[in-house]
Amino acid sequence: MRVINFGIIGFGTVGSGVVKLFLENQDEIARRLGFKLRLKKIADKLMKSKEGVYVPIDMITSDAYEIINDPEIDIVVELVGGKTFAKQFIIDAFKNKKHVVTANKALLSEFGNEIFTEADKANCYIGFEASVGGVIPVIKTIKESLAGDKIESIYGIMNGTCNYILTKMSEEKKDFYEILLDAQKKGYAEADPTLDIDGIDAAHKLAILTSLAFGTNVNFSNIHCEGIRDITNLDMEFAADFDYTIKLLGIAKDNGDKIQAKVHPTLIPKDHPLASVRLEYNAIFIKGVGCGSILLYGKGAGMMPTASAVLGDIIDCARHIHTNSIKTISNRGYLESNMQNKQIEFIDDIVSKFYIRLMVVDKPGVLASISGILGEKNISIESVVQKGRAQNGEGVPLVIFTHDTREKELREALNKIGGMDYCLAKPVFFRIEDKI
């Protein structure tokens, strides 16, 4: 009986999870496959699992190239993360005609065009289900299940740390930094949370989904990306008063020649399914011509959920090797030679509705001046609310909802309003998506 061997580079949290799940489910996997899938080698500098998963000592090496250069190994599982060694390991694996499974979103979003081209040249499989939304099967859904459909838009809650913080802020009425500190103490947020809270991790995942959904190469640096540092309890409460919830969304839309791809805090209707996604959970909402609306929900990170997605890819790859059908696969769901280079719309040109919050002096004529400045830029107001009366010369919050407006005009108007002497703090604005 043919044996298909795989090796894992990186015996950290996810690597340990893959080994644990594989060892626990080996018999069931063999029953599914009808051929033998074997874990041959694990490479890690530490020579052991930090999660206490034990394997025979002769299965472990500190040299990744004992896997990449092993003629018996068919599938290289890259779980070291980062963009330097990991990239070299993957490229060298393809040179040796080995298939690859990875969870490395940063690498695929920033160097995907090169990596997928190399995989294609070598006729190799690259599985990356775990790179977006952890265990949520969104890559296979877009690439396979919706292959006959036309995807119009994707809205994703794709960073568990941010969703956890926003949920706690809204439910416990504590401010951003208090919740962040608590999340760090409990291990939900990294010691250096920048990648998560500034939206970069979500943008990595959005770049991958955008390229699969619309069959286009994506230049990661063109994705507009804002995080959650500036969201206040005040804005969450005002949003809730108007039946909105604030979520950090990755948004991709197909606008024909151009596409939208952006990550930012977004007001969404309180009764939309995405608004009920709490804590560290992820969810991806897909709209298509044939499929209508689909919501995929689950754990976007963590040892075993991520391991489950990685192992699923290893099995998928093994099946293709076994049936000699690797060549029938397009790793991104489109022939690489047919991938397009659609332009990502500049954020200033994108039209949406906006929530604006100003802190202003409470005196006659202020509202007239503000609406005049908005009017000069052709910005139409849907509603305005002043919250309370000023005490002792303090400012009052003034909340404005606009109709559809191009972002450039909105920014110009807010710059002018921000410079007026009645405006006591930098104007705050968030984009609204109320037709999702």
Q: Which residue, 218 or 370, has its beta carbon nearer to ligand HSE?
A: 218
205 is catalytic: yes
The answer to whether 129 contacts ligand HSE (rule: CB under 6 A) is no
DSSP 193-246: -HHHHTTHHHHHHHHHHHHHHHTB---GGGSEE--STT--HHHHHHHHHTTEEE
Least distance to ligand HSE, CB of residue 160, Å: 3
d(CA 12, CA 45): 10
Binding ligand HSE (rule: CB under 6 A), the pick from 159, 167, 260, 330 is 159
Task: State the binding string over 298-337 for ligand HSE (x if CB under 6 A, else -).
Answer: --xx------------------------------------
The answer to whether 161 contacts ligand HSE (rule: CB under 6 A) is yes
DSSP 157-188: E--HHHHHHHHHHHHH---HHHHHHHHHHTTS
Closest to 428 in 3D by CA, of 199, 168, 236: 236
Q: Are 162 and 202 in contact (CB under 8 A)?
A: yes
Contacts of 318 (CB under 8 A, 6+ apart): 4, 6, 33, 35, 37, 74, 75
Q: Among 90-98, 156-164, 235-243, 337-345, which window interacts with ligand HSE (CB under 6 A)?
A: 156-164
Q: Which listed residue (87, 168, 205, 262) is catalytic?
A: 205
Binding ligand HSE (rule: CB under 6 A), the pick from 10, 156, 160, 288 is 160
Q: Which residue, 190 or 412, has its beta carbon nearer to ligand HSE?
A: 190
Least distance to ligand HSE, CB of residue 111, Å: 17
In DSSP terms, 265 is beta-bridged to: 248
- Hey, which bits of 15-98 come out as E strands? 36-43, 60-61, 73-78
The answer to whether 203 contacts ligand HSE (rule: CB under 6 A) is no
Query: Among residue numbers 67 through 96, which ones bind ligand HSE (CB under 6 A)?
Result: none
Q: What number of other Cβ atoms are within 10 A of residue 410's Cβ?
A: 22
Q: Which residue, 200 or 379, has its beta carbon nearer to ligand HSE?
A: 200
Q: Are 262 and 122 in contact (CB under 8 A)?
A: no
Binding ligand HSE (rule: CB under 6 A), the pick from 44, 196, 198, 254 is 196
Q: Which residue, 156 or 160, has its beta carbon nearer to ligand HSE?
A: 160
Least distance to ligand HSE, CB of residue 182, Å: 15
Interface with ligand HSE: number of residues (CB under 6 A): 7
Least distance to ligand HSE, CB of residue 398, Å: 34
Strands 381-386 and 351-360: unpaired
Strands 292-299 and 281-288: antiparallel
Q: Are 81 and 10 in contact (CB under 8 A)?
A: yes
Least distance to ligand HSE, CB of residue 131, Å: 8
Q: Is 46 exposed, middle or buried (0-12, 13-18, 19+ CB in 10 A)?
A: exposed
Q: Among 158-166, 206-214, 271-279, 395-403, which window interacts with ligand HSE (CB under 6 A)?
A: 158-166
Least distance to ligand HSE, CB of residue 161, Å: 3
Q: What number of other Cβ atoms are within 10 A of residue 31's Cβ?
A: 9
Q: Among 85-93, 155-163, 264-272, 370-378, which window interacts with ligand HSE (CB under 6 A)?
A: 155-163
Closest to 43 in 3D by CA, of 95, 109, 92: 92
Task: State the binding string over 206-225 for ligand HSE (x if CB under 6 A, else -).
Answer: --------------------
Contacts of 71 (CB under 8 A, 6+ apart): none
Catalytic residues, by residue number, are 205
The footprint of ligand HSE (CB under 6 A) covers 159-161, 196, 201, 300-301
